[in-house]
A and B are shown apart, each in its own frame.
Chain A
Amino acid sequence: MPDIEDIADELAAELKKHNADYLEARLEESQTSYITYRGKDLDSIGRSSGSGGNVRALIKGGWGFTSFNSLDELSKRVAQAVEQARAAGSGKSYLSPVEAIVDRVPAGVDINPVTIPLAEKKKLLDEYNGIIWSTPQIQTSNIGYSDSRKKVIFLNSSGSHITQERSDVNLTILSIAAKDGEVQQLLLSRGSRGNFSTMQDLHEEVEEKARHAVEMLSVPQVRGGEYTVVLNPFLAGVFAHEAFGHLSESDFVYENERMRDIMTLGRQFGGKHLNITDSAAVPGFRGSYKYDDEGTPTTDTHLIREGKLVGRLHSRETAAKMKEKPTGNARALNYGYPPIVRMTNTYIEPGDVSFEDMIADIKEGIYAKDCFGGTTSMEMFTFSAGEAYMIRNGKIAEALRPVVLTGNVFNTLENIDAIGDDLDRNEGGGCGKGEQMPLPISTGSPHIRIKKCLIGGS
Chain B
Amino acid sequence: MAFVNLKNKEIQVKIVYYGPGRGGKTTNLEYIYQKFRNRINTEMVTVKTHGDRTLFFDFLPFDIGVINGYDVKIQLYTVPGQVKYNATRRLVLRGVDGIVFVADSMAVRREKNILSLKNLQENLSNYKKSIFRIPCVIQYNKVDLLEQGIPLLPTDILEKDLNSQLKRPSFQASALKGTNVVTTLKKIISMTVASIKRDLK
Task: Answer yes or no: do A and B interact.
Answer: no
